[in-house]
Amino acid sequence: MKRMLFVIGVIAAAVCASAQAPVPSEPARPAPSERSGSARAEGWTAPRTPDGHPDLQGIWTTHTFTPLVRPARYANQEFLTEQEAVELSALLTEDDVDPLAAGIFGLSDEERRKRVVQNDPTHYDNALWLTTDFAPLSSRRTSLIYDPPDGKIPPLVPQATERAAARRAAINFDSHENRPLQERCIIWTHEGPPMLPPPYNDVLQILQTPEHVLIVRELETAPRVIPTDGGPHIAESMRRWAGDSRGRWEGDTLVVDTTNFTHRTAFQGASANLHVVERFTRVSADRIVYQFTVDDPDTWTRPWSAEIPMIAAKGPLFEYACHEGNYGMPDILRGARFTEKEAEKATPREPRK
């Protein structure tokens, strides 16, 4: 009951303002297929809300071991073969598999077997703490990125390279303000838009009203409230960590257009001029196809797009409670001060004259 009151309150607080942003040109979307998990189930009819739109509501997961960027092992190979998918899925569902085995998708068969189980005895057991019953692969894609066709993020323009260097140089332990936004619990890199699979706690809930769509992720700092009432974007001078999202229906697909980011949000190194277009299409009782296109001429040489299936999951969601200023931040800075003092002790002092 408390959760529902919170959801209603968030929707009631949503407001609209001025200035409609131009819609960026989008690359051709991939044809639905069984390999990508985007094909509509044969004979299936999408349920609809009372206002006639497809019902996207429910609890979903974007969990997958498929990387955002295509690894060298699968260069020029958009999809796994059926046999490759079967063998990799079998490996990733063995006992004691580490859910955080990053990069395992692109490794050789031998390296995969070495890395699939956690080898750090000083860390808590990921296989026990983070184990889920989610399928390890939500499609046979070799990368979530489908455009460009090589599955890679386009090259940075020169000013983006300079901007990235300046951002790296600004991160230090002098103050909480010099720490990354994710570490400060201001916004997680996977929250988006665009949304990406988080490292763990990968469940989200979608709720709909006639004029809003609400997306609540278990691992998040704030829910997404998306107006679908036809209102314009807020004024260009107003900037938000997660941008300003406006939704519309194109047939059976929810299209969400987001602008007005801050220069510090920096999705994959983007500037404040980042423009995101997301598409949510329900294709079966247990699957939504989520696609996004990002465009920022001040960052990349061209727009790029990705596709992530959302699979029906069990609930409920639990509060992750990542709050700015929690006890972790003072401990991080205290540890930095201790390290500095230890380094000072170890530095030989010149004798007094």
Predicted local distance difference test score (pLDDT) of residue 12? 45
Whether 241 is in a domain gets the answer yes
Tell me the pTM. 0.86
Whether 322 is in a domain gets the answer yes
Phi-psi region of 54 (alpha: psi -120 to 50; beta: other; left: phi over 0): beta
**Measuring CA to CA, how many Å separate 8 from each of 54, 121, 220, 303?**
20, 45, 18, 35
Name residue 260's beta-bridge partners: none
Same domain, 119 and 148: no
Q: What is the pLDDT of residues 150-199, one digit of tens each?
A: 999 999 999 999 999 999 999 999 988 889 888 888 888 899 899 999 98
* Cα–Cα distance measured from residue 9 to residue 212, given in angstroms and rounded to the nearest whole number: 12
* Cα–Cα distance measured from residue 234 to residue 245, given in angstroms and rounded to the nearest whole number: 9
Range of the domain at 118: 81-136
How many independent structural domains does the chain possess?
2
Same domain, 131 and 153: no
* Cα–Cα distance measured from residue 337 to residue 173, given in angstroms and rounded to the nearest whole number: 8
The H-assigned helical ranges of the chain are 2-13, 82-92, 109-115, 126-129, 158-169, 328-346
Predicted local distance difference test score (pLDDT) of residue 149? 96
Q: Which residues contact 241 (CB under 8 A, 6 or more apart)?
A: 181, 186, 187, 261, 262, 264, 265
Average pLDDT over residues 311-336: 86
Same domain, 222 and 91: no
Q: What is the pLDDT of residues 188-247, one digit of tens each?
A: 889 989 999 998 889 999 999 999 999 999 988 889 999 999 999 999 999 999 999 999
Structure-block tokens of residue 263: 């220069």
* Cα–Cα distance measured from residue 281 to residue 10, given in angstroms and rounded to the nearest whole number: 24
Predicted local distance difference test score (pLDDT) of residue 4? 43
Whether 11 is in a domain gets the answer no
Predicted local distance difference test score (pLDDT) of residue 21? 46
pLDDT at residue 18 is higher than 60 = no
pLDDT at residue 10 is higher than 80 = no
Same domain, 129 and 258: no
Structure-block tokens of residue 306: 């990705």
Whether 32 is in a domain gets the answer no
* Cα–Cα distance measured from residue 240 to residue 258, given in angstroms and rounded to the nearest whole number: 11
Same domain, 123 and 161: no
Are the C-beta atoms of residues 108 and 73 closer than 8 Å to each other? yes
- Final residue in a domain of this structure, among 136, 161, 176: 136
Q: What is the pLDDT of residues 57-108, one digit of tens each?
A: 999 999 999 999 999 999 999 999 999 999 999 999 888 888 888 788 999 9
Q: What is the pLDDT of residues 127-141, one digit of tens each?
A: 877 767 788 999 999
* DSSP character at residue 23: P
Same domain, 125 and 244: no
Are the C-beta atoms of residues 262 and 241 closer than 8 Å to each other? yes
Whether 167 is in a domain gets the answer yes
* Cα–Cα distance measured from residue 217 to residue 197, given in angstroms and rounded to the nearest whole number: 11
Structure-block tokens of residue 99: 């859910």
Same domain, 99 and 191: no
Same domain, 105 and 178: no
Nearest to 38 by CA among 48, 46, 30: 30
Nearest to 299 by CA among 270, 319, 336, 321: 270
Whether 273 is in a domain gets the answer yes
Number of H helices, E strands in the chain: 6, 10
Structure-block tokens of residue 295: 């465009």
Q: What is the pLDDT of residues 103-125, one digit of tens each?
A: 889 999 999 998 888 877 777 88
Whether 3 is in a domain gets the answer no
Predicted local distance difference test score (pLDDT) of residue 28? 65
Same domain, 102 and 211: no
Same domain, 226 and 161: yes
Nearest to 101 by CA among 89, 114, 90: 114
Same domain, 304 and 171: yes
Whether 89 is in a domain gets the answer yes
Predicted local distance difference test score (pLDDT) of residue 27? 60
Q: Which residues contact 220 (CB under 8 A, 6 or more apart)?
A: 188, 191, 320, 322
Same domain, 188 and 285: yes
- Final residue in a domain of this structure, among 136, 158, 176: 136
